[in-house]
Protein backbone atom coordinates (compact mmCIF):
# COMPACT_ATOMS: atom_id res chain seq x y z
CA UNK A 1 0.00 0.00 0.00
CA UNK A 2 1.30 3.43 -0.91
CA UNK A 3 0.25 6.99 -1.56
CA UNK A 4 0.01 8.16 -5.17
CA UNK A 5 -0.72 11.36 -6.99
CA UNK A 6 -2.12 10.73 -10.48
CA UNK A 7 -2.20 13.62 -12.96
CA UNK A 8 -4.24 13.54 -16.19
CA UNK A 9 -3.75 16.08 -18.99
CA UNK A 10 -6.28 17.64 -21.32
CA UNK A 11 -6.32 14.91 -23.99
CA UNK A 12 -6.85 12.30 -21.27
CA UNK A 13 -10.04 14.07 -20.08
CA UNK A 14 -11.17 15.44 -23.46
CA UNK A 15 -14.73 14.09 -23.16
CA UNK A 16 -16.98 12.11 -20.84
CA UNK A 17 -15.87 8.77 -22.27
CA UNK A 18 -12.22 9.58 -21.55
CA UNK A 19 -13.07 10.89 -18.09
CA UNK A 20 -14.76 7.53 -17.38
CA UNK A 21 -11.59 5.81 -18.63
CA UNK A 22 -9.57 7.94 -16.18
CA UNK A 23 -11.96 6.90 -13.40
CA UNK A 24 -11.17 3.24 -14.14
CA UNK A 25 -7.43 3.99 -13.93
CA UNK A 26 -8.01 5.57 -10.51
CA UNK A 27 -10.22 2.68 -9.37
CA UNK A 28 -7.44 0.23 -10.25
CA UNK A 29 -5.04 1.97 -7.87
CA UNK A 30 -7.67 2.34 -5.13
CA UNK A 31 -8.55 -1.36 -5.39
CA UNK A 32 -4.83 -2.15 -5.02
CA UNK A 33 -4.94 -0.42 -1.62
CA UNK A 34 -3.31 2.90 -2.50
CA UNK A 35 -4.30 6.28 -1.12
CA UNK A 36 -4.91 8.42 -4.20
CA UNK A 37 -5.08 12.10 -5.07
CA UNK A 38 -5.85 12.98 -8.68
CA UNK A 39 -4.86 16.25 -10.39
CA UNK A 40 -6.68 17.12 -13.60
CA UNK A 41 -6.28 19.61 -16.42
CA UNK A 42 -9.11 21.26 -18.31
CA UNK A 43 -10.71 19.23 -21.09
CA UNK A 44 -8.68 19.43 -24.31
CA UNK A 45 -9.14 22.80 -26.04
CA UNK A 46 -11.15 24.33 -23.20
CA UNK A 47 -8.38 26.59 -21.84
CA UNK A 48 -7.71 27.95 -25.34
CA UNK A 49 -11.42 28.72 -25.67
CA UNK A 50 -11.51 30.52 -22.33
CA UNK A 51 -8.39 32.53 -23.16
CA UNK A 52 -9.94 33.52 -26.50
CA UNK A 53 -13.11 34.68 -24.74
CA UNK A 54 -11.05 36.92 -22.43
CA UNK A 55 -9.23 38.44 -25.40
CA UNK A 56 -12.49 38.92 -27.29
CA UNK A 57 -14.08 40.65 -24.29
CA UNK A 58 -11.09 43.02 -24.06
CA UNK A 59 -7.59 42.71 -25.55
CA UNK A 60 -6.20 44.50 -22.47
CA UNK A 61 -8.08 42.53 -19.82
CA UNK A 62 -7.53 42.46 -16.05
CA UNK A 63 -5.15 39.58 -15.27
CA UNK A 64 -7.03 38.84 -12.04
CA UNK A 65 -10.29 38.34 -13.90
CA UNK A 66 -8.45 36.37 -16.58
CA UNK A 67 -7.39 33.91 -13.88
CA UNK A 68 -10.94 33.67 -12.55
CA UNK A 69 -12.14 32.73 -16.04
CA UNK A 70 -9.43 30.28 -17.17
CA UNK A 71 -9.31 28.44 -13.82
CA UNK A 72 -12.90 27.30 -14.42
CA UNK A 73 -11.83 24.69 -16.97
CA UNK A 74 -10.14 22.54 -14.33
CA UNK A 75 -13.08 23.07 -11.96
CA UNK A 76 -15.41 21.43 -14.49
CA UNK A 77 -13.09 18.46 -15.03
CA UNK A 78 -12.54 17.80 -11.33
CA UNK A 79 -16.27 17.78 -10.66
CA UNK A 80 -16.99 15.45 -13.58
CA UNK A 81 -14.26 13.01 -12.55
CA UNK A 82 -15.53 12.95 -8.96
CA UNK A 83 -19.01 12.08 -10.31
CA UNK A 84 -17.53 9.34 -12.52
CA UNK A 85 -15.63 7.86 -9.56
CA UNK A 86 -18.72 7.93 -7.37
CA UNK A 87 -20.63 6.02 -10.07
CA UNK A 88 -17.98 3.28 -9.75
CA UNK A 89 -18.53 3.08 -6.00
CA UNK A 90 -15.41 5.09 -5.11
CA UNK A 91 -15.64 7.67 -2.34
CA UNK A 92 -14.43 10.89 -3.97
CA UNK A 93 -14.75 14.67 -3.82
CA UNK A 94 -13.44 17.53 -5.92
CA UNK A 95 -11.13 20.23 -4.60
CA UNK A 96 -10.38 23.63 -6.08
CA UNK A 97 -6.97 25.17 -5.49
CA UNK A 98 -8.32 27.69 -2.97
CA UNK A 99 -10.08 24.98 -0.93
CA UNK A 100 -6.96 23.00 -0.04
CA UNK A 101 -5.45 25.70 -0.08
CA UNK A 102 -2.65 25.94 -2.63
CA UNK A 103 -1.04 29.28 -1.74
CA UNK A 104 0.72 31.19 -4.49
CA UNK A 105 2.35 34.52 -5.32
CA UNK A 106 0.18 37.26 -6.82
CA UNK A 107 1.74 37.07 -10.31
CA UNK A 108 -1.55 36.41 -12.06
CA UNK A 109 -1.37 34.05 -15.06
CA UNK A 110 2.14 32.94 -14.00
CA UNK A 111 1.94 32.55 -10.22
CA UNK A 112 4.41 30.43 -8.26
CA UNK A 113 3.42 28.06 -5.47
CA UNK A 114 4.57 29.19 -2.02
CA UNK A 115 2.87 26.57 0.15
CA UNK A 116 0.28 23.76 0.25
CA UNK A 117 -1.62 22.52 3.29
CA UNK A 118 -2.41 18.87 2.56
CA UNK A 119 -3.52 17.98 6.09
CA UNK A 120 -7.26 17.76 5.36
CA UNK A 121 -6.72 15.52 2.33
CA UNK A 122 -4.40 13.23 4.33
CA UNK A 123 -7.00 13.11 7.12
CA UNK A 124 -9.68 12.07 4.66
CA UNK A 125 -7.41 9.35 3.26
CA UNK A 126 -7.38 7.60 6.63
CA UNK A 127 -10.85 8.47 7.92
CA UNK A 128 -12.97 8.16 4.76
CA UNK A 129 -10.78 6.30 2.24
CA UNK A 130 -11.63 9.24 0.02
CA UNK A 131 -10.02 10.05 -3.33
CA UNK A 132 -9.16 13.74 -3.69
CA UNK A 133 -9.83 15.05 -7.20
CA UNK A 134 -7.93 18.33 -7.46
CA UNK A 135 -8.21 21.06 -10.06
CA UNK A 136 -4.70 21.64 -11.40
CA UNK A 137 -3.17 24.87 -12.70
CA UNK A 138 -4.59 27.06 -9.95
CA UNK A 139 -4.21 28.38 -6.41
CA UNK A 140 -5.00 31.40 -4.29
CA UNK A 141 -3.08 34.49 -3.21
CA UNK A 142 -3.65 34.60 0.55
CA UNK A 143 -3.42 38.38 1.04
CA UNK A 144 -5.96 39.27 -1.66
CA UNK A 145 -8.03 36.11 -1.66
CA UNK A 146 -7.92 36.07 -5.47
CA UNK A 147 -7.73 32.94 -7.60
CA UNK A 148 -4.40 32.60 -9.42
CA UNK A 149 -3.14 30.37 -12.22
CA UNK A 150 0.33 28.92 -12.71
CA UNK A 151 0.86 29.44 -16.44
CA UNK A 152 0.30 27.05 -19.32
CA UNK A 153 1.12 23.48 -18.41
CA UNK A 154 0.73 24.39 -14.74
CA UNK A 155 -1.20 21.21 -13.90
CA UNK A 156 2.08 19.26 -14.03
CA UNK A 157 3.52 21.71 -11.51
CA UNK A 158 0.41 21.41 -9.34
CA UNK A 159 0.67 17.63 -9.34
CA UNK A 160 4.33 17.43 -8.28
CA UNK A 161 3.86 20.13 -5.62
CA UNK A 162 0.81 18.32 -4.22
CA UNK A 163 2.71 15.01 -4.24
CA UNK A 164 5.45 16.64 -2.17
CA UNK A 165 2.93 18.21 0.25
CA UNK A 166 1.11 14.87 0.71
CA UNK A 167 4.42 13.00 1.10
CA UNK A 168 3.39 10.70 -1.74
CA UNK A 169 5.54 7.79 -2.84
CA UNK A 170 5.35 8.83 -6.48
CA UNK A 171 3.69 11.26 -8.89
CA UNK A 172 2.31 9.58 -12.02
CA UNK A 173 1.87 11.92 -15.01
CA UNK A 174 -0.60 10.34 -17.44
CA UNK A 175 -0.43 11.79 -20.93
CA UNK A 176 -1.02 10.88 -24.58
CA UNK A 177 2.44 9.31 -24.93
CA UNK A 178 3.83 6.33 -23.05
CA UNK A 179 6.97 7.98 -21.72
CA UNK A 180 9.98 10.13 -22.54
CA UNK A 181 11.73 9.28 -25.81
CA UNK A 182 15.30 9.83 -26.96
CA UNK A 183 13.86 12.41 -29.37
CA UNK A 184 10.56 13.16 -31.11
CA UNK A 185 9.42 9.86 -32.73
CA UNK A 186 7.65 11.87 -35.45
CA UNK A 187 11.06 13.11 -36.59
CA UNK A 188 13.07 9.96 -35.86
CA UNK A 189 10.93 6.79 -36.14
CA UNK A 190 13.78 4.83 -34.52
CA UNK A 191 13.54 6.89 -31.32
CA UNK A 192 13.16 4.68 -28.26
CA UNK A 193 11.43 5.14 -24.95
CA UNK A 194 13.71 5.66 -21.98
CA UNK A 195 13.04 3.58 -18.87
CA UNK A 196 14.78 6.05 -16.56
CA UNK A 197 15.95 9.66 -16.79
CA UNK A 198 17.61 11.79 -14.11
CA UNK A 199 15.94 14.99 -12.95
CA UNK A 200 18.86 16.99 -14.32
CA UNK A 201 18.62 15.42 -17.77
CA UNK A 202 14.83 15.85 -17.86
CA UNK A 203 15.21 19.49 -16.86
CA UNK A 204 17.46 20.05 -19.87
CA UNK A 205 15.18 18.06 -22.19
CA UNK A 206 12.09 19.97 -21.04
CA UNK A 207 13.72 23.39 -21.30
CA UNK A 208 15.25 22.68 -24.71
CA UNK A 209 12.17 21.58 -26.61
CA UNK A 210 10.79 18.29 -25.25
CA UNK A 211 7.08 18.88 -24.57
CA UNK A 212 6.33 15.95 -22.24
CA UNK A 213 6.66 17.87 -18.96
CA UNK A 214 6.62 21.49 -17.87
CA UNK A 215 10.06 22.68 -16.71
CA UNK A 216 8.81 23.90 -13.32
CA UNK A 217 7.34 20.48 -12.51
CA UNK A 218 10.74 18.86 -13.05
CA UNK A 219 12.40 21.53 -10.90
CA UNK A 220 9.96 20.78 -8.08
CA UNK A 221 10.55 17.06 -8.42
CA UNK A 222 14.30 17.60 -8.13
CA UNK A 223 14.01 19.95 -5.14
CA UNK A 224 11.72 17.57 -3.22
CA UNK A 225 13.27 14.36 -4.61
CA UNK A 226 9.79 13.30 -5.75
CA UNK A 227 9.92 10.47 -8.32
CA UNK A 228 7.83 11.26 -11.42
CA UNK A 229 6.52 8.50 -13.66
CA UNK A 230 5.40 9.48 -17.17
CA UNK A 231 2.91 6.97 -18.62
CA UNK A 232 0.03 6.72 -21.09
CA UNK A 233 -3.60 7.20 -20.08
CA UNK A 234 -4.68 5.36 -23.23
CA UNK A 235 -3.52 1.96 -22.02
CA UNK A 236 -6.56 -0.09 -21.01
CA UNK A 237 -6.94 0.25 -17.21
CA UNK A 238 -7.93 -3.41 -16.82
CA UNK A 239 -4.78 -4.60 -18.64
CA UNK A 240 -2.40 -2.96 -16.15
CA UNK A 241 -1.11 -4.77 -13.07
CA UNK A 242 -1.07 -2.12 -10.30
CA UNK A 243 1.70 -4.06 -8.55
CA UNK A 244 3.87 -4.30 -11.67
CA UNK A 245 5.81 -1.76 -13.70
CA UNK A 246 3.82 -0.52 -16.71
CA UNK A 247 5.42 1.03 -19.80
CA UNK A 248 6.67 4.51 -19.02
CA UNK A 249 9.63 6.59 -17.93
CA UNK A 250 10.74 7.10 -14.34
CA UNK A 251 12.30 10.49 -13.60
CA UNK A 252 14.28 10.38 -10.38
CA UNK A 253 17.60 11.26 -8.78
CA UNK A 254 20.69 10.57 -10.87
CA UNK A 255 22.03 7.69 -8.79
CA UNK A 256 18.85 5.77 -9.60
CA UNK A 257 18.74 6.75 -13.25
CA UNK A 258 22.18 6.46 -14.81
CA UNK A 259 22.14 4.18 -17.83
CA UNK A 260 25.01 2.78 -19.88
CA UNK A 261 25.17 5.53 -22.47
CA UNK A 262 26.81 8.90 -22.72
CA UNK A 263 23.91 10.71 -24.41
CA UNK A 264 20.34 10.38 -23.16
CA UNK A 265 18.41 12.29 -25.79
CA UNK A 266 18.25 14.92 -28.53
CA UNK A 267 15.93 17.92 -28.12
CA UNK A 268 15.18 20.62 -30.66
CA UNK A 269 13.26 23.86 -30.93
CA UNK A 270 12.31 25.86 -34.01
CA UNK A 271 10.99 28.67 -31.82
CA UNK A 272 14.23 30.63 -32.05
CA UNK A 273 15.38 33.97 -33.47
CA UNK A 274 18.98 35.11 -33.89
CA UNK A 275 20.02 38.72 -33.33
CA UNK A 276 23.41 40.24 -34.14
CA UNK A 277 24.40 43.70 -32.90
CA UNK A 278 27.49 44.71 -34.89
CA UNK A 279 30.46 47.03 -34.46
CA UNK A 280 29.91 48.07 -30.87
CA UNK A 281 32.71 49.85 -29.04
CA UNK A 282 34.65 47.20 -27.13
CA UNK A 283 34.57 48.56 -23.59
CA UNK A 284 33.25 47.51 -20.15
CA UNK A 285 29.47 47.73 -19.77
CA UNK A 286 28.52 47.16 -23.42
CA UNK A 287 26.96 43.75 -22.79
CA UNK A 288 25.02 45.16 -19.84
CA UNK A 289 23.65 47.97 -22.03
CA UNK A 290 22.13 45.34 -24.34
CA UNK A 291 21.07 42.55 -22.02
CA UNK A 292 19.90 44.79 -19.17
CA UNK A 293 16.98 46.29 -21.14
CA UNK A 294 16.11 42.83 -22.50
CA UNK A 295 15.94 41.47 -18.95
CA UNK A 296 13.77 44.41 -17.90
CA UNK A 297 11.40 43.48 -20.74
CA UNK A 298 11.30 39.85 -19.45
CA UNK A 299 12.92 38.54 -22.63
CA UNK A 300 15.04 35.43 -22.08
CA UNK A 301 18.36 35.39 -23.91
CA UNK A 302 19.91 32.02 -24.62
CA UNK A 303 22.96 31.50 -26.84
CA UNK A 304 25.49 34.36 -26.71
CA UNK A 305 28.58 34.70 -28.94
CA UNK A 306 30.93 37.71 -28.82
CA UNK A 307 33.57 38.36 -31.46
CA UNK A 308 36.20 41.09 -31.07
CA UNK A 309 37.25 42.81 -34.31
CA UNK A 310 40.81 42.71 -35.64
CA UNK A 311 41.56 46.24 -34.51
CA UNK A 312 40.41 45.42 -31.00
CA UNK A 313 38.24 48.52 -30.81
CA UNK A 314 34.81 47.13 -31.76
CA UNK A 315 32.94 43.90 -31.15
CA UNK A 316 29.93 41.96 -32.48
CA UNK A 317 27.38 40.37 -30.14
CA UNK A 318 25.18 37.56 -31.43
CA UNK A 319 22.47 35.90 -29.32
CA UNK A 320 19.14 34.11 -29.55
CA UNK A 321 15.70 34.85 -28.10
CA UNK A 322 12.40 32.97 -28.37
CA UNK A 323 10.79 33.71 -31.74
CA UNK A 324 7.68 34.92 -29.94
CA UNK A 325 9.79 37.65 -28.27
CA UNK A 326 11.70 38.69 -31.40
CA UNK A 327 9.61 41.78 -32.23
CA UNK A 328 9.86 43.09 -28.65
CA UNK A 329 13.59 42.33 -28.52
CA UNK A 330 14.19 44.20 -31.76
CA UNK A 331 12.22 47.20 -30.53
CA UNK A 332 14.04 47.18 -27.19
CA UNK A 333 17.49 47.21 -28.81
CA UNK A 334 16.79 49.65 -31.65
CA UNK A 335 15.21 52.12 -29.25
CA UNK A 336 18.45 52.05 -27.23
CA UNK A 337 20.76 52.39 -30.23
CA UNK A 338 22.16 55.75 -29.13
CA UNK A 339 23.03 54.37 -25.70
CA UNK A 340 24.50 51.10 -27.01
CA UNK A 341 26.31 52.72 -29.94
CA UNK A 342 26.12 49.90 -32.46
CA UNK A 343 26.54 50.35 -36.22
CA UNK A 344 24.23 47.63 -37.55
CA UNK A 345 21.38 45.36 -36.40
CA UNK A 346 21.04 41.98 -38.17
CA UNK A 347 18.52 39.24 -37.47
CA UNK A 348 17.42 35.82 -38.66
CA UNK A 349 14.18 34.09 -37.64
CA UNK A 350 14.46 30.93 -39.75
CA UNK A 351 16.79 29.14 -37.32
CA UNK A 352 16.54 26.18 -34.95
CA UNK A 353 18.33 24.99 -31.83
CA UNK A 354 19.35 21.34 -31.58
CA UNK A 355 20.58 20.09 -28.20
CA UNK A 356 22.36 16.93 -27.07
CA UNK A 357 21.75 15.94 -23.42
CA UNK A 358 23.37 13.29 -21.25
CA UNK A 359 24.83 12.96 -17.75
CA UNK A 360 27.56 10.74 -19.18
CA UNK A 361 29.17 13.79 -20.80
CA UNK A 362 30.70 14.61 -17.43
CA UNK A 363 33.13 11.72 -17.75
CA UNK A 364 33.53 11.42 -21.54
CA UNK A 365 35.65 13.75 -23.66
CA UNK A 366 35.02 14.59 -27.30
CA UNK A 367 31.24 14.17 -27.29
CA UNK A 368 30.60 17.59 -28.83
CA UNK A 369 33.49 17.25 -31.30
CA UNK A 370 31.87 14.11 -32.74
CA UNK A 371 28.67 16.07 -33.35
CA UNK A 372 30.46 18.95 -35.06
CA UNK A 373 32.22 16.54 -37.41
CA UNK A 374 29.00 14.64 -38.19
CA UNK A 375 27.09 17.85 -38.94
CA UNK A 376 29.91 19.14 -41.12
CA UNK A 377 29.82 15.90 -43.12
CA UNK A 378 26.17 16.67 -43.83
CA UNK A 379 27.03 20.26 -44.86
CA UNK A 380 25.09 21.67 -41.91
CA UNK A 381 26.54 25.00 -40.85
CA UNK A 382 26.64 25.86 -37.13
CA UNK A 383 25.78 29.48 -36.35
CA UNK A 384 26.36 29.39 -32.57
CA UNK A 385 27.23 26.92 -29.80
CA UNK A 386 26.51 26.81 -26.07
CA UNK A 387 27.62 24.17 -23.59
CA UNK A 388 27.05 23.11 -20.01
CA UNK A 389 28.17 20.12 -17.95
CA UNK A 390 25.56 17.72 -19.34
CA UNK A 391 24.45 19.28 -22.64
CA UNK A 392 25.49 21.29 -25.63
CA UNK A 393 23.34 23.14 -28.16
CA UNK A 394 23.95 24.25 -31.72
CA UNK A 395 22.06 26.88 -33.69
CA UNK A 396 21.49 25.93 -37.33
CA UNK A 397 19.28 26.90 -40.27
CA UNK A 398 15.75 25.61 -39.61
CA UNK A 399 15.64 23.76 -42.93
CA UNK A 400 18.27 21.32 -41.63
CA UNK A 401 16.58 20.58 -38.27
CA UNK A 402 15.27 17.10 -38.99
CA UNK A 403 18.43 16.03 -40.79
CA UNK A 404 20.55 17.22 -37.85
CA UNK A 405 18.37 15.45 -35.29
CA UNK A 406 18.44 12.17 -37.22
CA UNK A 407 22.20 12.44 -37.76
CA UNK A 408 22.96 13.01 -34.08
CA UNK A 409 20.45 10.39 -32.91
CA UNK A 410 22.26 7.75 -34.98
CA UNK A 411 25.74 9.08 -34.11
CA UNK A 412 25.24 8.50 -30.39
CA UNK A 413 23.67 5.05 -30.76
CA UNK A 414 20.16 6.06 -29.71
CA UNK A 415 18.35 4.29 -32.58
CA UNK A 416 16.33 1.23 -31.60
CA UNK A 417 18.20 -2.03 -32.08
- On whether 8 is known to bind a ligand per the annotation, the reply is yes
Enter the DSSP assignment of 366: S
Cα gap 145→106, rounded to integer Å = 10
Number of H helices, E strands in the chain: 14, 18
User: How many other C-beta atoms lie within 10 A of the C-beta of residue 399?
Assistant: 11
- On whether 7 is known to bind a ligand per the annotation, the reply is yes
Is the distance from CB of 320 to CB of 395 less than 8 angstroms?
yes
- On whether 342 is known to bind a ligand per the annotation, the reply is no
- On whether 244 is known to bind a ligand per the annotation, the reply is no
Closest CA to 135 of 165, 93, 104: 93
Which of helix, strand or coil describes residue 27? helix
- On whether 339 is known to bind a ligand per the annotation, the reply is no
CA-to-CA dists, residue 217 to 46, 155, 158, angstroms: 22, 9, 8
Is the distance from CB of 282 to CB of 314 less than 8 angstroms?
yes
Which of helix, strand or coil describes residue 105? coil
Is the distance from CB of 323 to CB of 272 less than 8 angstroms?
yes
Q: Could you give the residue ranges of the DSSP H alpha helices within 97-253?
A: 119-128, 154-165, 199-207, 215-224
- On whether 174 is known to bind a ligand per the annotation, the reply is no
User: Distance between the two ends of the chain, CA-based, in angstroms?
Assistant: 37
User: Where on the phi/psi map is residue 285: left (φ > 0), alpha (ψ -120 to 50), or beta?
Assistant: left
The secondary structure of the chain in percent helix, strand, coil, rounded to multiples of 5, reads 40, 25, 35
Cα gap 165→122, rounded to integer Å = 10
How much is the CA Rg of the chain, to the nearest whole Å?
24
Is the distance from CB of 262 to CB of 205 less than 8 angstroms?
no
- On whether 186 is known to bind a ligand per the annotation, the reply is yes
Cα gap 270→351, rounded to integer Å = 6
For 284-390, strand residue ranges (E) read 304-308, 314-322, 344-357, 384-388
- On whether 372 is known to bind a ligand per the annotation, the reply is no
Strand partners of residue 351: 272, 397
- On whether 211 is known to bind a ligand per the annotation, the reply is yes
Which residues fall in the annotated binding site? 7-10, 47, 74, 175-176, 181, 186, 211-212
Which residues fall in the annotated binding site for ATP? 7-10, 175-176, 181, 186, 211-212
Which residues fall in the annotated binding site for substrate? 47, 74
Amino acid sequence: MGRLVMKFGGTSVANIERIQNVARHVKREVDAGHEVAVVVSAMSGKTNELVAWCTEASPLHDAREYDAVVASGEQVTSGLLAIALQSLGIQARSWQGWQIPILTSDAHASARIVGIDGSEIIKRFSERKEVAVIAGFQGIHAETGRITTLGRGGSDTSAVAIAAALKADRCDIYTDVDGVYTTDPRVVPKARRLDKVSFEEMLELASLGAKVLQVRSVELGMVHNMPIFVRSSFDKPEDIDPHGTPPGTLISSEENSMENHVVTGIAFSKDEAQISVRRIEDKPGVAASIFGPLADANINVDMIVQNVSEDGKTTDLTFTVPASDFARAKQTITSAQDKIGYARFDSETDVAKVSVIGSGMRSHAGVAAQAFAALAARNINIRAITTSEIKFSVLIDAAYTELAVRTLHTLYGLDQV
